[in-house]
Amino acid sequence: APPSAERVREALQATFGFSGFRGVQDQVVDRVLQGQSTLAVMPTGAGKSLTYQLPAVLLEGTCVVVSPLIALMHDQLRSARANGIHAATLTSVDADWRETLDAFRAGQLDLLYIAPERASQPAFRDLLASTRISLFAIDEAHCVSEWGHDFRPDYRLLKPLLDAFPQVPRLALTATADRHTRADILTQLGIGEDGLIVAGFDRPNIRYAIRPRDSVARQLKGVIDENPGPGIIYAPTRARVEQLAETLAKSTGRPVLPYHAGLPSEVRQKNQAAFVASEDMVMVATVAFGMGIDKPDVRFVAHAGIPKSIEGYYQETGRAGRDGDPSVAVMFWGADDFARARMRLAEVDEARQQSERQRLESLAGLIETADCRRAVLLRHFGEEPPAKCGNCDTCLEPVDVIDATTLAQKLLSA
């Protein structure tokens, strides 16, 4: 029988120090404890890790967690261990494989983190058969879908492993999946449609604005000057990152650092650590910056060019205001962004072209709309939001009013 509600609350408090669940966490944990496979779509910062870590502590056996990045696994490992959970990873950078395997076989691990390419190997299946498995948790589950924004072919190889343990429930987790991607995840991981739990996507403390780009360095300076707290600026290329970081450091007088995959890893780590510790730093970065960064007080996220999709936009802007305090997300777009995106589209193989094109069209819809940005965003994720949020540019400065003002100014200055 699944543990009682009392026992669950007790473990929540004793292991994690939390006095209650947030949002849909309790629904997800409930299903998992009853052995029901589930896909939980919960925004970044909603607390997805808890939905498998708590069952991992309560259930007999080991919870196997599939995660796409070594850095993410090690972050999770640190925080799990800090809570006294018996957790381990088996990655190429771990020196303690032997101890981990011994502990696993002896049934001493609550959590075992593993990369998809290793999880899908026959040797790993044999290893799992040597002890009791309580749960399969598949983190960043959108990676299994070609419809998702970050397809990883290795995720496709997980199904045979899961199917080899039909009695073990599956918990797929993702922050960003539109309707297509959700349906695909359910199919690819063999989870029934009734197992879908979607949390609200709204981030009411984020004020959205999307503006045409003219002189972007000047526009970004404006954003920085108006927002004294920490911020992230996403730029489309490494060269652009370097250039903007230099210009903005001079023009704003704020601490500004660059971050992109072309920098040596020591520099990246150093810049990231400085940003996390700072109360006023601006990080100019490519999208390489973000996954797994735990900084609750980011006050603004600005885009110097268009993101890849609405999912990407939501994920990147979602790094602002995790502490719930007022924050802003400003995108500066230009027609040339779309020209470049269309050129890239031509290079993609045909199977992906349709989904890529659709992604771009949805993004254009968000940029061009005169309706509430939040409403468009939330409808994209399948919600039925109110027509106006009152906290985005189109609500606060309705287009006809702007037009009327410009017209009035023209008339006045004539």
Give the interface with ligand ADP as residue ranges (CB under 6 A): 18, 21-22, 25, 42, 44-50
Place of tokens 């199919």: 187
Nearest approach in angstroms of CB 319 to ligand ADP is 10
Q: Residue 47 binds which entry of Mg ion, ligand ADP, none, with Cβ cut-offs from 5 to 8 Å by kind?
A: ligand ADP
Nearest approach in angstroms of CB 392 to Mg ion is 26
Is the distance from CB of 145 to CB of 181 less than 8 angstroms?
Answer: yes
- % helix / strand / coil in the chain, to the nearest 5? 50, 15, 35
Q: Residue 162 binds which entry of ligand ADP, Mg ion, none, with Cβ cut-offs from 5 to 8 Å by kind?
A: none
Instruction: Tokens for 25, please give them.
Output: 């966490």
Annotate 127-169 with DSSP letters as a single string: HHHTS-EEEEEETTGGGG-TTSSS--GGGGGHHHHHHTSTTS-
Q: Residue 245 binds which entry of ligand ADP, Mg ion, none, with Cβ cut-offs from 5 to 8 Å by kind?
A: none
Q: What residues line the site for Mg ion (CB under 5 A)?
A: 48
Instruction: Please state, in angstroms and rounded to a whole number, the distance separating the CA atoms of residues 270 and 18.
Output: 31
Nearer to Mg ion, 48 or 303 (CB): 48
Q: Residue 22 binds which entry of Mg ion, ligand ADP, none, with Cβ cut-offs from 5 to 8 Å by kind?
A: ligand ADP
Amino acid at 88: A
DSSP class of residue 194 equals G
Rounded to whole angstroms, the maximal C-alpha distance in the chain is 84
CA 26 to chain centre: 21
Q: Residue 203 binds which entry of ligand ADP, Mg ion, none, with Cβ cut-offs from 5 to 8 Å by kind?
A: none
User: Which residues on neighbouring strands pair with residue 211, listed in sequence order?
Assistant: 332
Helix axes 97-105, 122-129, angle to 10 degrees: 40
Nearer to Mg ion, 46 or 366 (CB): 46
Nearest approach in angstroms of CB 320 to Mg ion is 17
Identify the three-state secondary structure at position 353: helix
CA torsion sign for 291, 153, 238, 71 is positive
Nearer to ligand ADP, 296 or 390 (CB): 296
Q: What is the rounded (10 degree) CA torsion for 42, 46, 52, 58?
A: -130
Q: Residue 374 binds which entry of ligand ADP, Mg ion, none, with Cβ cut-offs from 5 to 8 Å by kind?
A: none
Nearer to ligand ADP, 48 or 182 (CB): 48
Q: Residue 170 binds which entry of Mg ion, ligand ADP, none, with Cβ cut-offs from 5 to 8 Å by kind?
A: none
Nearest approach in angstroms of CB 18 to ligand ADP is 4
Nearest approach in angstroms of CB 23 to ligand ADP is 8
Nearest approach in angstroms of CB 130 to ligand ADP is 29
Nearer to ligand ADP, 24 or 306 (CB): 24
Within 8 A by CB and 6+ apart from 142, the residues are 148, 149, 150, 174, 176, 177, 181, 185, 311
Nearest approach in angstroms of CB 49 to Mg ion is 5
Nearest approach in angstroms of CB 230 to ligand ADP is 17
Instruction: Tokens for 279, please give them.
Output: 């109360």
Nearest approach in angstroms of CB 9 to ligand ADP is 11
Nearer to ligand ADP, 74 or 221 (CB): 74
Nearer to Mg ion, 48 or 373 (CB): 48
Q: Residue 42 binds which entry of ligand ADP, Mg ion, none, with Cβ cut-offs from 5 to 8 Å by kind?
A: ligand ADP
Q: In what order do the strands lie in the sheet with 327-333?
A: 206-212, 327-333, 300-303, 231-234, 282-285, 256-259
Nearer to ligand ADP, 140 or 337 (CB): 140
Nearer to ligand ADP, 120 or 317 (CB): 317
Place of tokens 């993609």: 348
Q: Residue 142 binds which entry of ligand ADP, Mg ion, none, with Cβ cut-offs from 5 to 8 Å by kind?
A: none
